Copies of this chain bind each other. A is one copy, B any other.
Amino acid sequence: MTTPPRLESDLGWALGTVMRSYLRAIDEVVAGVPGGPRGYQVLAAAGRGEAGSQLALAQHLGVDRTVMTYLLDDLESAGLVERRPDPADRRARRISLTTDGGARLCALERALRGAEEAVLAPLAEDERTVLRELLARIALGSAPVNPCQVAEELQAAELSAPRGRAPRRSAAAPTPPPGTPRAATPASPR
């Protein structure tokens, strides 16, 4: 009995409730952004240069490719992002922020900081930081497993420590535990 009597440990309920609270909090802020919350996430990803192809962006955000098309249509017609042909692959489009998009993103981030803090209000200052970090670790660790990212990581690890040193333990767990869920079970009982 090392664990204290759990008062309320339903992870799913807590996650869902916090998620809804978050969406409600940012609702007003992102109301003017074409794609809503996801529109902002596209801007944020583009601003960080994380937006490779549309497909990569879609997987990063957890949306369907076809949805990403419409999302970018709206953002582009609003003048916030640009679809520029990838010089290396003429099939793909690179998503980049316009000047307006950059300014908009900056304003959004400032406003969102406040909304996020309101969501995290029940926590103390340092606890908020801890929560952010733990969530980010899980998200990064269980992000859509990008094979080439993993490959890069392994390569980098090998290069930096060719003596057979194992890659950093805390990073995106390369050896998933036995009970790892299979991806996207198609057998959902509609």
Which residue numbers of A lie inside 8 Å of B, CB to CB?
A: 3, 6-22, 24-28, 31-32, 37, 40-41, 44, 61-62, 112, 114-123, 127, 129-132, 134-143, 170, 172-173, 176-177, 179-185, 187-189
Contact = CB atoms under 8 A, between A and B. Distances in A.
A138 B122 contact: yes
Number of copies of chain A assembled together: 2
B9 A189 contact: no
A120 B177 CA distance: 11
Contacts of A3: 129
Given A17-B62, A24-B181, A31-B188, 7 more contacts: A8-B136, A8-B139, A24-B183, A121-B177, A123-B134, A123-B137, A130-B134
B24 A185 contact: yes
